[in-house]
Amino acid sequence: MTVSARFDARVDARDDVTVDPREEAFRAGAGLALSVVRDNASIRVMADGEALLSFRFDGERGVLTVSSDPGDPRQMGSALSAAAEASFAWHPSLERLVLDLGERPAAASELARDGLVVMVDGTPVLLPEMLMQRRESWLTDAARPPFPLSYVMTDGKRHPRRPPKPVGRVYGRFIPWLSEVVSFRVVDVERDLALVHRWLNDPRVDAFWNEAGDLDKHRQYLSKILADPHMLPLIGCFGDRPFGYFELYWAKENRIAPFYDAGDHDRGWHVIVGEDAFRGREFITAWLPSLMHYMFLDDPRTMRIVGEPAAAHVQQLRNLDRAGFAQIKTFDFPHKRATLVMLLRERFFGDRLWQPAAKAAVLETQR
């Protein structure tokens, strides 16, 4: 569901440094406002064309050394997070990065309090499975705390009260093998009706979804999903180009709940990849783990993501297996025989499933 290089020498960043367009840039940070640039000798974190912080990277020893002094100490965390995300993406075999703060050892305790590093024998260490759970780097509304726990009843099912629906873009992540950003935004009926209408009327999609119809039917369909507290409809985009429709759901009050012991914050999903140009391995290895990443970040209490693809859809099940989903059992819905699949939070982050694995295939529709 990969890339490698080595940097040894030291290059100090200056306030007036500019980015050479030939250098390789990795977009990161809140709102993807930072660029991480590597050249022959250094890694620099840039904002608005100026260097915030520079590092030396020693690939053999797995050490990231701060080689410039941030003008604002508050920038250390965001710049370090961006540099580490890029470094782990460029060097996927790295299990961890030792952080050398040079003459700034006092910064380690603050970074540890924020969960950006852990202290191992007195040395700050960056772990990718912790780094990728820092919500501010990918969520639009990262400052929003988890919704307070309060139980309600819906159709005889007791479940947590769900938070109000977000509006607009909710997630964005830079994909280095595409040099593009994948993002998800909440459906806007007026903006997205024609697009979803076209996708739902695609015979290939209708074979799984059975929702073909006219514009009025699909307007009502999307409005109903938006009004349902347990559902969240999203449009996926590569750059500014929409490519797919996704329905996320809270499993506890979903039709899947009677078929397993659903947790309070388990989530599930359905998908349509509507555009032919965005089918294939290089795209599925971008949007699929990013969608899982969003669900795990949206509420840190989400420990499991489930799905219920058709049991006869062998290729789809094989693709989900490659993405880290375990097949739990086969069961009968009123409309299909399904396989319950499940992805654990611990496995997603522990096995670094946000990065491509070998021989990923195509998952175009699931419902």
Strand partners, 45: 36, 53
308 included as an active-site residue: yes
d(CA 288, CA 282): 11
Which helix (H) or strand (E) segment holds residue 337: the answer is: strand 337-344
Instruction: Specify whether the CB–CB gap between 278 and 238 falls below 8 A.
Output: yes
Angle, vertex CA 142, rays to CA 141 and CA 146, nearest 5? 100
Which single residue is written with the structure tokens 């007195």?
122
d(CA 126, CA 256): 38
CA-closest candidate to residue 1, choices 291, 294, 297, 302: 291
Distances in Å between the Cα of 346 and the Cα atoms of 164, 300, 305 are 27, 12, 11
Residue 34, class by beta-carbon neighbours within 10 Å (0-12 exposed, 13-18 middle, 19+ buried)?
buried
Instruction: Specify whether the CB–CB gap between 38 and 7 falls below 8 A.
Output: yes
Beta strands in 94-253 (DSSP E): 97-100, 118-120, 123-126, 151-154, 157-160, 169-175, 180-186, 231-238, 241-250
Which candidate in 85, 247, 253, 308 is catalytic?
Answer: 308
Residue type, 175: I
Which helix (H) or strand (E) segment holds residue 111: the answer is: helix 107-113
Q: Which residues are catalytic?
A: 308
